[in-house]
Chains A and B, each alone.
Chain A
Amino acid sequence: MSKELKVPTMAEAVAAGKKPEVLFWVGCAGSFDDRAKKITKAFVQILNQAEIDFAVLGTEESCTGDPAKRAGNEFLFQMQAVTNIEVLNGYGVKKIVTACPHCFNTLKNEYPGLGGDYDVVHHTQFLNDLLKEGRISLQGGKFKGKRITYHDPCYLGRANQVYEAPRELIEKLDIALVEMKNCKQRGMCCGAGGGQMFKEPEKGDKDVNIERTEQALETRPDIIAAACPFCNTMMTDGVKNKEKEDDVAVLDVAELIAQAADL
């Protein structure tokens, strides 16, 4: 790693009398999953490079409760939500950015009803805003001329109508963005949502991630771009299943940007 990551926690910031501009909600995958941690680090590299005044909750962060809610355990969800809201409100958090569409959706849509009202953005929206404000710059460089297809995460796309921010970022990389037959509103799920990430699938002919990977591979991509740690896992597994891992990379939009900028 070229530079040490600067990852201030909310507790440190407050102790130093500072009020960070934005809270980076890392999420469980981003904190613990080896593949997703790379996304987290790439995003932090960009934040550091752009000198964004942010902080994380660190050990004070806990699962948003999203997987419990989708699995039908509303009770556990609300317990998690109420606990998290207490922490967030305690720090007077106003704005949250997260690289996980599931955290994003829950924090944005389901926390307000329980007393947690924040301006919640997905990292692709946040990065796109930074780009528009001129706080980061992007050039293709490394990815020039590559074919990239973008897989819409359900909880970012259909659930919250965020289709353009990730695409606008990708298009800045001097690449060919090739859409899958099923994209945007009709984008197919990677198979991880609704608690499926944590269980074996029901009996069927095929796994959902294999079907979706086949759709992605039809576009003959060099890179499958994702914007969700779970989609990333599912598509990576799908690409491996098809023995294409040497030809096709699965990368988060934040990783694309960090790599393009050679961070």
Chain B
Amino acid sequence: MQYLPNIIFLLALLAGIGFFARNINKLRRNINLGRPADLVHAPAQRLQNMLKIAFGQSKMVIRPVAGLMHLIVYIGFIIINIEVLEIIIDGLFGTHRIFAPLGAVYDVLIASFEILALLVIVAVVVFWLRRNVAKLSRFKKREMQGWPSKDGNLILYIEFVLMVLFLTMNAADLQLQQMGADHYTQAGSFPVSQYLGELMSGLSESSLILLERTAWWLHILGILAFLNYLYYSKHLHILLAFPNTYYGRVTPQGKFPNLDAVTKEVKLMMDPSADPFAAPAEDAEPPAKFGASDVMDLNRVQLLNAYTCTECGRCTDECPANQTGKKLSPRKIMMDTRDRMEEVGKILDVNKGKFVDDGKQLLNDYITAEELWACTSCNACVQACPVSIDPLSIIMDLRQYLVMEKSAAPSELNNMMGNIENNGAPWPFNQMDRLNWAKESK
């Protein structure tokens, strides 16, 4: 029975990691629903982007308040993970504070965890106030009603509780150390929890041990639970921000890809020796669909983008269409893409990995034409995203489907395109008059 806690710990750890791995596999499968994307071009630039934007948080700090608070939580997340490593080793082998022999280094480590934990609590409270008291408009938009708002708050509550548990554990530990309790080696420096410990001064050794153990267990079980909550929340960005910034755009934002399938058709049209009536070869692939109407038509980076989105709403905040009351919200484009991808994933789950048409698609059932046509393609959303998500590329792909597969452009745009076709300008002017300005007076 002596090893019971170790066995329970091992089982909890395996369950936590195993379940998480299962969800990551699902995530990978869903992303692979998309078309292949260019992932190899410019690796040095990509690495630099990841280091700067994800590790360096360079775009977060453009909004200083949120940026600073986020920086604290981010550094806390990275640094406190060293403590999690110690907790895992202790849990598996029944040791206590296995890193304690590091001496002065250990003191510095624990002290910095404590200070960060306190700062994280402050940041989380500020975040909560921004969402629930200051009610920042970007957290109150249409697409944030219901679950997305709850999700945002829930994450803050979990982080708050985890940090409080961490400090409680340390506070009780310090009390026990000072009592000279068995097993509680004198180690660490506790600049924050020493004050919390004062509240525990009347407690007996056994109560303190109970408190310390409870906090310790809840803290690690909480972390494992949080790890598994990620897949169901908007919080995956803590992991996916890194690959997403790596796979993000490495070309100018104004450069939209030229569709190869269209180039093929255009070349054929321009080729005077091509036989317009030639039957396609027996083994020819069916002609590619132009644009996207569902998640399978998008590419894998776009789908990764959707999982990475943490619904901060900076894109929507900067969107000129949204600012002027149009229905378009770039954040909603990403949320819809993810929701549809999850829906398709569930269909795969129940049909042994085969997709069965459910009569729904991303276009119309999630994203309406009205939203798509409100976009000015200004790239403000792309620029605003702190983790290199590109909502505009999805908007453009859906537009392409509407126009090239459905001929469903607004009629004024059809007029514009008709003019280009007929007279080489978006307005009905004769191409032969193109140089008239040179002869007109000023």
CA distance A192 to B396 in the complex (A): 16
Q: Chain B: which residue is nearest A86 at the CB level?
A: B270
Whether the pair B434, A59 counts as a contact (CB closer than 8 A) is: yes
Whether the pair A1, B425 counts as a contact (CB closer than 8 A) is: no
Whether the pair B254, A105 counts as a contact (CB closer than 8 A) is: yes
Whether the pair A191, B376 counts as a contact (CB closer than 8 A) is: yes
> Which residues from B are CB-within-8-Å of A109?
251-252, 254-256
> Which residues from A are CB-within-8-Å of B438?
5, 7, 44, 56
> Which residues from B are CB-within-8-Å of A185?
383
Given A74-B400, A105-B254, A59-B412 contact (CB < 8 Å):
no
Asked whether any CB of chain A lies closer than 8 Å to the CB of B199, the reply is no
Give residues of chain B (235-254) contacting chain A, Cβ–Cβ below 8 Å: 251-254
Asked whether any CB of chain A lies closer than 8 Å to the CB of B296, the reply is no
Q: Chain B, interface size: which category?
A: 35 or more
> Which residues from B are CB-within-8-Å of A38?
442
A interface, CB within 8 angstroms of B? 1, 5, 7, 9, 26, 28, 30-33, 37-38, 40-41, 44, 56, 58-59, 61-63, 65, 67-76, 78-80, 82, 105, 108-110, 113-114, 154-155, 158-161, 185-186, 188-189, 191-208, 210-212
State which of B96-104, B221-229, B315-323 sits at the interface with chain A.
B315-323
> Which residues from B are CB-within-8-Å of A202?
321, 326-328, 370, 373-374
List 20 contacting pairs A-B, 8 Å CB cutoff, sorted by A.
A31-B425, A59-B431, A67-B416, A67-B420, A71-B399, A72-B291, A72-B402, A72-B409, A76-B421, A110-B255, A154-B376, A154-B377, A159-B252, A159-B255, A160-B252, A195-B377, A195-B416, A201-B324, A204-B324, A210-B324
Q: Chain B: which residue is nearest A5 at the CB level?
A: B438
Interchain nearest-CB distance for A83 vs B (Å): 8
CA distance A193 to B426 in the complex (A): 13
Q: Chain B: which residue is nearest A155 at the CB level?
A: B254
Q: Chain B: which residue is nearest A258 at the CB level?
A: B442
Instruction: Known pairs A73-B404, A154-B377, A189-B376; list 15 more (Cβ under 8 Å).
Output: A32-B429, A41-B437, A63-B426, A72-B399, A80-B420, A113-B258, A189-B378, A193-B376, A194-B378, A198-B412, A199-B412, A201-B326, A203-B327, A208-B376, A211-B324
Interchain nearest-CB distance for A59 vs B (Å): 5
Whether the pair A211, B442 counts as a contact (CB closer than 8 A) is: no
Whether the pair A79, B266 counts as a contact (CB closer than 8 A) is: yes
CA distance A170 to B376 in the complex (A): 27
Whether the pair B416, A59 counts as a contact (CB closer than 8 A) is: no
Whether the pair B374, A26 counts as a contact (CB closer than 8 A) is: no
> Which residues from B are CB-within-8-Å of A75?
262, 265-266, 290, 404
Asked whether any CB of chain A lies closer than 8 Å to the CB of B269, the reply is yes
Whether the pair A211, B255 counts as a contact (CB closer than 8 A) is: no
- CB < 8 Å: which of B251, B255, B435, B442 contacts A58? B435
Asked whether any CB of chain A lies closer than 8 Å to the CB of B286, the reply is no
Q: Chain A: which residue is nearest B328 at the CB level?
A: A202
Q: Chain B: which residue is nearest A45 at the CB level?
A: B442
CA distance A62 to B422 in the complex (A): 11
> Which residues from A are CB-within-8-Å of B259?
74, 78
Highest count of chain A CB atoms <10 Å: which of B404, B409, B417: B417
Whether the pair B403, A158 counts as a contact (CB closer than 8 A) is: no
Highest count of chain B CB atoms <10 Å: which of A9, A154, A161, A205: A154
For the A-B complex, the count of residue pairs with Cβ-Cβ distances under 8 Å equals 225
Asked whether any CB of chain A lies closer than 8 Å to the CB of B379, the reply is yes
Top-3 shortest CB links A-B: A159-B254, A205-B325, A72-B399
Give residues of chain B (408-442) contacting chain A, Cβ–Cβ below 8 Å: 409-410, 412-413, 415-417, 420-421, 424-427, 429, 431-438, 440-442
Given A70-B377, A202-B373, A161-B324 contact (CB < 8 Å):
no
Asked whether any CB of chain A lies closer than 8 Å to the CB of B380, the reply is yes
Whether the pair A191, B435 counts as a contact (CB closer than 8 A) is: no
Q: Chain A: which residue is nearest B400 at the CB level?
A: A72
> Which residues from B are CB-within-8-Å of A30?
437
Q: Chain B: which residue is nearest A37 at the CB level?
A: B437
CA distance A166 to B377 in the complex (A): 22
Asked whether any CB of chain A lies closer than 8 Å to the CB of B263, the reply is yes
Whether the pair A62, B402 counts as a contact (CB closer than 8 A) is: no
Interchain nearest-CB distance for B407 vs A (Å): 10
Interchain nearest-CB distance for B298 vs A (Å): 15
Q: Chain A: which residue is nearest B270 at the CB level?
A: A82
Asked whether any CB of chain A lies closer than 8 Å to the CB of B60, the reply is no
Asked whether any CB of chain A lies closer than 8 Å to the CB of B306, the reply is no
- CB < 8 Å: which of B325, B379, B396, B420 contacts A154? B379
Q: Chain A: which residue is nearest B411 at the CB level?
A: A199
Asked whether any CB of chain A lies closer than 8 Å to the CB of B333, the reply is no
Q: Chain A: which residue is nearest B375 at the CB level?
A: A194
Given A72-B400, A75-B404, A211-B320, A114-B420 contact (CB < 8 Å):
no
- CB < 8 Å: which of A32, A56, A194, A203 contacts B425? A32
Interchain nearest-CB distance for B371 vs A (Å): 8
> Which residues from A are CB-within-8-Å of B251?
109
Mask: chain B, 197-211; 1 = CB below 8 Å from A; 0 = not:
000000000000000
Whether the pair B434, A31 counts as a contact (CB closer than 8 A) is: yes
> Which residues from A are CB-within-8-Å of B434?
26, 31-32, 58-59, 61
- CB < 8 Å: which of A1, A32, A67, A197 contacts B441? A1
CA distance A115 to B426 in the complex (A): 24
CA distance A204 to B396 in the complex (A): 21
> Which residues from B are CB-within-8-Å of A193?
376-378
CA distance A246 to B321 in the complex (A): 29
Given A72-B404, A110-B256, A189-B421 contact (CB < 8 Å):
no
